[in-house]
Structure 1
Amino acid sequence: MNFTIYNTDNAPEESKPFLEAAREKFGFLPNLLGEFAESPALLEGYLKLNEIVGKTDFTPKEQQLAILAVSVENKCHYCTAVHSTILRNQINADDEIVDAVRNGDPLPDSKLNALVTYVKRSVQKRGFVEESDLQAFLDAGYSKRQALEVNLVIALKTMSNYTNHLAVTPVDDPFEPEKVEFATV
């Protein structure tokens, strides 16, 4: 089933202000947001939740690594490309770190590795992590507050990852160099 990638001209009226703000912020309108516009509530919810994720106790780099880890674990081609691009081009994360998350390898930084591992375990176990998983996360220097904030990141990416699975969102040109193909379930 094809989903429409709306723009500011043809989107439902309730979605237009959000699309206009996104285009202004990013310099273009990402395909994902154009698809979200079908449901103004989803579009608004995603954008607001994204702002809230920015208020967590994680650094921007940690936020993006957690987001990438969820996207890889959920096999989301679109979000993996987007957040790999952000990590490399805006956050200036080392290629070795980004590649490790994308490939499922241990990260060279032990604290960041603990974050990515905890995020992945949370997704895999649908939140039913083992006490040892949480303890390893805390022992790496993260807090219980941040353990809860991982759930916020997972909620955000579940919205976009599942939409991309449903709509098979085409990767935008700026993210094309980071495009990845996952085997579908």
Structure 2
Amino acid sequence: MSRLNALGSNATGRTAELFAAVKAKLGKVPNAYDAVGSNSPVALEALLNFDAKLADTSLSKREIEVIKLAVSEVSACDYCLAAHTLAGKAAGLSADAILAARRGTPGGDARLDALSTFVREVTGSRGTVPAPVVDAVKAAGYTDAQVVDTIFAISSITFTNLVNRINDTALDFPKAPA
């Protein structure tokens, strides 16, 4: 049961415009976007723009999904885990790689494993990350620019994690495997 207002097809004005754009791109307005846009079209527009710019960073789609999966696992956001399990598959991650990213276990790609470990440390530590953690992700081949882009991605998914955790957003994607 959602705790925040959700307008769905009853949206008007800027919210309706944003929902139409989301539906054109995704085929539906996910419940998470409904919750954000119904209450703050400014926040939804910023989120959509944020994610559009995230696609322009130095990170691949697979890396972005590893980040979103790792953060969502640390945050225990069932909604984002479900959504990004699907997005991770679409980005080319295997089921094993998705679970590894979430759990911080080896998934067969040392570079993605290092990224997941870094992200879990950043998220779980509130940003106070020991130098060896930063050194490890850089030793895996990530540049300083990619470290900053990773923090950018963490910021995006943290917002939706928080909205969904506060809202208790109903799943409209298949539940992510445990």
Normalised by the length of structure 2, the TM-score is 0.93
Q: CA RMSD in A?
A: 1.5
Unaligned runs of 5+ in 1: 181-185
Give the match for residue 156 of structure 1: 156
* Distance in 1 of aligned mates of 2:50 and 2:26: 17
Taking the aligned partners of 2:175 and 2:72, their CA distance within structure 1 comes to 17
CA deviations on 1:94-144 (whole Å, 9 max, x unpaired) are 221112223342322111100011111111111111110110011000001
> Are the counterparts in 1 of residues 102 and 116 from structure 2 also a CA contact under 8 Å?
no
Q: How many residues align?
A: 176
Name 2:125's counterpart in structure 1: 125
Task: Decide whether the 8 Å contact of 2:6 with 2:34 is kept in 1.
Answer: yes
1:177 shift after superposition: 4.2
Q: Could you tell me how far apart the structure 2 residues matched to 1:109 and 1:53 are?
A: 22
Q: 1:176 aligns with which of 170, 174, 177?
A: 174
For residues 137-158 of structure 1, give each alpha carbon's deviation from its aligned partner in whole angstroms, at most 9, with x where no partner exists. 1100000111111111111011
1:179 CA drift (Å): 6.1
Tell me the equivalent position of 2:41: 40
Structure with bigger helix share is: 2
Are 1:6 and 2:7 matched, yes or no?
Answer: yes
The residue number in structure 2 matching 1:116 is 116
Residue 70 of structure 1 contacts residue 157 of structure 1 at CA under 8 Å; is this kept in 2?
Answer: yes
Alignment match, 2:16:
16
1:95 aligns with 2:95: yes
Superposed displacement of residue 4, structure 1? 2.5
Write the letter of the residue equivalent to 1:21.
Answer: A
For 1:104 and 1:143, locate their aligned partners in 2 and report how far apart those are by CA, in whole Å. 21
Identity of aligned residues (%): 27
In structure 2, the partner of 1:28 is 28
User: TM-score, normalization: structure 1?
Assistant: 0.89
Report what 1:183 is aligned to.
none
Q: Using the TM superposition, give the Cα deviation of residue 12 of structure 1 relative to its aligned residue in structure 2, in angstroms.
A: 4.7
In the alignment, what sits opposite 2:105?
A: 105
The 2-side partners of 1:96 and 1:14 are apart by 40
